[in-house]
Each structure stands twice: as C-alpha cells, then as structure tokens.
Structure 1
Amino acid sequence: MGSATSSMAAKLAFFPPDPPSYGIYVEASSGRMRMSNIVHQREDVDVLKLSTKRGNEIVAMYVKNTSASLTLLYSHGNAADLGQMYHIFTELSHHLGVNLMGYDYSGYGQSSGKASEQDTYADIEAAYRCLEETYGLKEEDIILYGQSVGSGPTLELATRLPMLRAVVLHSPILSGLRVMYPVKRTFWFDIYKNIDKIPQVNCPILVIHGTEDEVVDVSHGKQLWELCKEKYEPLWLTGGNHCNLELFPEYLRHLRKFITAVEKLPPLQIESEESREQSENSLIATDQKSRASTEQREKSRPSTGQREKSRLSTDNREKSRTSIDKREKSRRSMDRSGKPRNSTDQSERARNSFDRLGDMVRSVGLCNVDCLKQTALEA
C-alpha cells in the first residue's frame, strides 16, 4: 500500500510539458546560448546548462538587473518550463528590481533525466551553486521562491542555509500525500515533507495562497504559515485559485512591498559553535594566566603583613573577577537565547506578502498552462 501511494504521489507531482516549449542553440554571432521559440530575445538574460550531483544536466536562465541588491532563486510549479516562464521572469526582474534565476527540473524542458523528489533537490543545489560560483552572490543576498511543487526543493534548501535572506511560498503544499489525503501524521513514503521542514527555517517566510485553490487547498498555506518561526503577514487572495493569482491587483503591489522590506533587513548574524568555543577557551586561558600571576606575586611577598594585605587585595580581585565572569556568562546566555535577527519595527510588520506567478499546475488535469497565456501576452 505504501509503495503504491508513494507512486501515486510522485505521478501527481510531476507533469513536464510534452513536448517542451523551447529548444537550445548557440548563437553564431555572439557564441551565447539561447532559447528558441522566444519572441523577444534579451541581452540581459544568460542561458546556462548546469550539472547536478545526480548526473543530470539542467537548463537555467539568469535575468540581470543592474540596480538589484537581491536575487530571487525561483522554483516554478508543475506543467511549466522555462520557455513558458521566460517573459514572466524578465518582467518580475524589471518590476521588482531584482536579479532572478529560474531553472528547469530534471526531465523538464531541455533538462536531462527524469523528475523525482531527490533530483529536484539536486537541481536547486546546482542553481544555487551557480549563483555563488558564477555570479559571486552570497547566501544573504538570496531569496528562495517556491511555487506549488517548487515549495518542496525550496524548503529543503532553506533548511541548510542559515544566513538566507528570506523565503516566499506560493500555493505551497504540506506534503505530497497530504494533497490527496487529509492524513494527520507524516509517513516515510511521503514526498516533500514541508510540514516537518518549515519550523527549521530561521529567515522570514511569506506565504501566499488563493482561497478557492482547487488543487492545493488554502489550509496547506495557512498551516505552513502557522509553523513559521519568522512570520510575515500572509496574503490570502479571496477567490484566487491555483493558477491565476498573478491576475489579482494585489499581486505586484505586495511583491514590491515585500522585496522593499526585505532589503532593509540586516543579514542574519549567527555565531558558529566553533567561534563560540574559541571565545570561551580564550576567556578560560586568560583567567588561568591571571590566577597564575596572582599566585606568583603572593609567593614573592616577604612580610606576613604584606602577604595578608596581598591576600585581601587578591580576594577583592577574585570577587571582582567572579562578578565579571557572572556578567559575561549572563551576556553570553542572552546572546545565545536571543533571536539572531530582531523582528523589524512594528511599522514594518505590514510587509504584506509577495505574490508568485500563477502556478501552471496541470496536476490531475485540473489546471492547464493555458491559464497564463493571457498574462504572458499582457506582459
């Protein structure tokens, strides 16, 4: 039963467009890689092929914005590939003032291999590594954005990036099995166990969901938001379904507000265990040297009276040191127990959510990529 259910969940999770909406070629004049079937090729878009640790080669696109300080790493939804997302990604980069990297999962578009949960984890790792190694970005410069099925690889990576700037989840799932059945606990054969991972993410998380989502019920988004450590005001779009949230007027407005608010946040300052141990060892060594010096001075005092005075003085110093040690321990305790990042001002709490692009999930035939054609044309 478990194996059959897991297989069902996997089949519901992955619907790569067939045939792919684009091809790949090398432009003779520039030597740059390009995507075919794109109406307006742009010079600010890099098309790349990235190798994953599971042996696949995935296609990614990087949209450059010269005024950007942050970069969105976007994991798209089901039944979509980069050819269909190309113009939406470039418009998002322009209107939000961010760099944006999108990528196709293994088996999607012109990426090799076949989609699976573990392959999507390797895919997002390859895209993240490219941002670091090719574009010189740091962890704190990046916002992870997961759309529907894309919430799975997004949260998996977010749990391993303690300095990440922020996460956006659009129409996210609690887990693959929970999309089909209202189970109350996590089973070993389930996929994308977001419900268990989201409490491990330390950075701010924004959740957006449509109240009339017919593929992933809005209760998924609401429960995930409740489990966030660093909550931001969610966006529950009344009447929104699984693939039309980008059509709502609040969409771009909330995106801009969220990005602006996140830009003002200082990067997370997290003290590592190693640096903390080094600091403590240094304090212990200093204390031992001081005590040895005091003992040496006591031995060299000839007069009993002088020794008595010295002992009194030493006792006072010991009391003072004890008091300082107590204050130091108290301070370290407060540093460790305190949150690495203070919540932003109350005035900035209303950093409403950040809408994602309509999820093109065709999952179980309930939504087709045609639902975004009008949006792309308007863009």
Structure 2
Amino acid sequence: MQYFVTGILYSFSLCGLRNKLIHLVVFRPPQTTYELRLRKQNNNHNYKEKQQNSSDKIQIVDLSNRNDLQINKKNHIQQIQKRKKYINNLEEYPEYDFIKLSNKSTDENEDYIICSDICHVTAYFLSLRKNKKMACVYLNRYSEQIILFSHGNACDLGMIIDKLLKLVEHTNTSVFAYEYSGYGQSDGVSNDVNIIRNIYAAYTFLIHQLGYKPTQIIVYGYSIGSGPSINLASNPQYPIGGLIIQSGFSSGLRVISHKIDETPFYDMFPNIDQIQYVSCPVFIMHGANDNIISDEHAKQLAKNTNNLYELWISQNVGHCGIESDYLNRQQYFQKLQKFIKYIQMENTNVPDLITKNTAICQRKTPTTKQHFYQTKIF
C-alpha cells in the first residue's frame, strides 16, 4: 500500500497533477455551518443574538469582574494608536457578523449571531490570489497575545467556534482563526499549497491590519493545521512568539507508513524536516489513544525540535476532545496558560525578532533535497 500511494503521488507530481490528487484524496470540506453578514447592512434577515460563552465550569482565569474587558480594551486602543503608522487602512476590510446556522439534527432550529461578554466577535473576508476570499473570525479579548489558529480537516469555523471561545475564556488571550480555501465561506480549492498561502495571508493581516507585533502571535495548529503552522514558524521572514501543535503529524506520507526515512520532495507537509528550523518555543501535545495519527508522530516532532518547551502525551484522549475531556481539560488550559506566560517572559524586549524567533538554527544545515513547496508557495 505504501509503495502504491507514494508511486501514484510521485507520478502525478511529475505530470503536474499533484495538487489535484491531494485535493481529491486528503481534504474533506464539510457542509457549511455558518455565514458572514456585513454589519450595519439592511436586509430581510432578522437574526437573534445569542451569548455564546463556554459551558465549561472550570474557572482557570477569574473572569467574575467583566470590567477587566473594558480596561483591556482601553489599553488595546492606546497601543493601536501608538502603532497606527504601521497599520494599513482597515476600511479595506469591512466587519461582518458571525451567523451560526440552524442545525436540524439538534434542538437549534434558528440562526443566530455569535456574541460574547468576554470578547468582541468580528468576522472578515481577506483577499487572496485571483480575487478569491478567505473567511476569518477574530475573538478580541484586547490582550497582549493572540492565538493564530489553524483548524483540522472536515470542519469549518462554525464547528470550532465553541473551542475558540473556550481558548479565549480560559487563557485570557485573543484568538484569530482563518478558514482553508474551499471550506465554509472561503473561496478556492482545498489543497496543501493553498492552505499554506492561507496562513501567510492571516499572519500578514494580524501584523499590518490589526497591528500586532510578531512576538505577540502564538501559532496553534491542530491536526492537519500543524502543516501550515510549522511551515510559517520555520520561515525566518515571518517571526512569531511561540508554536503550539496538537495532534500533529510528521508528514503526510508518514501517516500512511512509518517506514519512510527520507521525505520525498512531493510529500504533503514535511513537518518533521521543517520543525528543526523553528527556534521559537514549541509546545507539542497529543492524545495517547489517537487512532488517526499515532502519538509517535508527536515524539518524532519533539525529537527534531530545537527549542522544545514540552511534549505532553495526554492519557485517555484520542485525536480530539482534549479540551472537553473531564480528566484532561483543566490540565490542558493550565498548560496553555503557563506556556503563554513563558512566551511573554522569553520575548520581553527582543532586540532582533528574526534572529530570536524563527531564524534557521546555525548548528544545522538542511539535510533534505528541495521540497515541492520551495517553488510553489509564493
């Protein structure tokens, strides 16, 4: 099976059909569960607002005093004013309401606007190549750090909005999640090359439109989202503050077979090779009972990481659900909190972001041949 799949992918790569094959075989865009509505626009739709806060009763962060949000907002606005000369015209990116569509399989029979009293929820469409648009949602807690979230396969932003709100609530951190091409409200074709382009567009928006500093950005990749996340973090021209990988893999073909030693040039997401050039702090977590991607992938990634903060193999957890598992969720949020605080300390008064965060490690030189991405991404 291994040789059959690698042989087919190799043949399609030589014929220029690699991306089409990966699109057909790997990616599974679901039926859209949300839509974006332009704010302050008169139309025939009347949506109710629904407070969409975490139902999780664990209080890792004391949020009883909601005035903190207003204080953070005031400080955030002051910071934006200071950095205003670096920010482009936000009018190019209108704000949208995030509408959760009704689910016929549950009791939710009405569409509603996602809102929260712990963060400001705003959606955007970002411009891509060939007049394509990419959907994003910004959960603004007016915090110093922001998580740039890359979602898993077979889901869209509407399916992960609860998870994102939990991240905001329990880490006291803003979250920006983008959606892959061909998923949900995002235009285009889903393949690995386009997904990598997606995360670069999201990163650029955070820096040049929302005014974040590179060290304030924490990249979080879940499952297939580990691919674009590690690719971005390994690029010295796109410095970040830290990297979180949950249920990630060493490379696409290694999910099929663990016997691959050297990464073929046509492999999908060569994480095991690229992660060695990430020098910002890296936190890797994986479920011990993951039947989709073995925890051996996490161990391989950790072994190749030069600045490993922690490798956490959580027991009694599979490929997903660590944030909702009764035995692990409290530890999950506590570990995230500690990692964020660690990043804040590490990146205080960094004189040279490119050297500090994501420059290629001088102790190592690339050991693999030129990969497909090196000529196809930009």
TM-score (norm 1): 0.67
Q: How much identity, in percent, do the aligned residues show?
A: 28
- Alpha-carbon distance in 1 for matches of 2:254, 2:220: 21
Bigger proportion of residues as helix: 1
Q: 8 Å contact 1:13–1:176 — kept in the other structure?
A: no
- Alpha-carbon distance in 2 for matches of 1:244, 1:137: 30
- Alpha-carbon distance in 1 for matches of 2:310, 2:140: 29
More relative contact order, 1 or 2 (CA 8 Å, 6+ apart): 1
In structure 1, runs of 5+ residues without a counterpart are 274-335, 339-379
| Residues 236 and 101 of structure 1: CA distance in aligned 2, closer, same or farther (over 3 Å) | same
RMSD: 2.5
1:215 matched to 2:288: no
1:41 matched to 2:83: no
The one-character-per-residue Cα deviations of 1:90-134 (angstroms, maximum 9, x if unpaired) are 221122111110011000111001111110111001111110121
1:26 matched to 2:38: yes
Corresponding pairs, count: 274
Q: What secondary structure sits across from 1:168 in the alignment?
A: strand
Over 3 Å off, 4+ runs: 5-13, 27-32, 267-273
| Map of 1:15 onto structure 2 | 28
Q: What secondary structure sits across from 1:150 in the alignment?
A: helix
| Map of 1:332 onto structure 2 | none
Tell me the amino acid that sits aligned with residue 41 of structure 1: I
Bigger proportion of residues as strand: 2
Tell me the amino acid that sits aligned with residue 211 of structure 1: A
Q: 8 Å contact 2:95–2:124 — kept in the other structure?
A: no
- Alpha-carbon distance in 2 for matches of 1:3, 1:26: 47
1:362-373 to 2 correspondences below 5 Å: none
| Map of 1:252 onto structure 2 | 333
TM-score (norm 2): 0.67
In structure 2, runs of 5+ residues without a counterpart are 11-17, 43-93, 102-111, 356-360, 364-378
1:205 matched to 2:282: yes
1:220-299 to 2 correspondences below 5 Å: 220-246=297-323, 247=325, 248-249=328-329, 250-267=331-348, 268-270=350-352
Higher-Rg structure is 1
- Alpha-carbon distance in 2 for matches of 1:271, 1:61: 27
Tell me the amino acid that sits aligned with residue 135 of structure 2: V
| Residues 81 and 237 of structure 1: CA distance in aligned 2, closer, same or farther (over 3 Å) | same
| Map of 2:367 onto structure 1 | none
Q: What secondary structure sits across from 1:20 in the alignment?
A: coil
- Alpha-carbon distance in 1 for matches of 2:148, 2:130: 20
1:4 matched to 2:8: yes
| Residues 337 and 73 of structure 1: CA distance in aligned 2, closer, same or farther (over 3 Å) | closer
Q: 8 Å contact 2:123–2:135 — kept in the other structure?
A: yes
The counterpart of 2:272, out of the listed 195, 213, 238, is 195
Structure 1 residue 12 displacement after superposition? 4.9
| Residues 41 and 110 of structure 1: CA distance in aligned 2, closer, same or farther (over 3 Å) | same
- Alpha-carbon distance in 1 for matches of 2:189, 2:147: 25
- Alpha-carbon distance in 1 for matches of 2:309, 2:145: 18
| Map of 1:133 onto structure 2 | 208
| Map of 1:300 onto structure 2 | none
Q: What secondary structure sits across from 1:222 in the alignment?
A: helix
1:58-73 to 2 correspondences below 5 Å: 58-66=134-142, 68-73=143-148
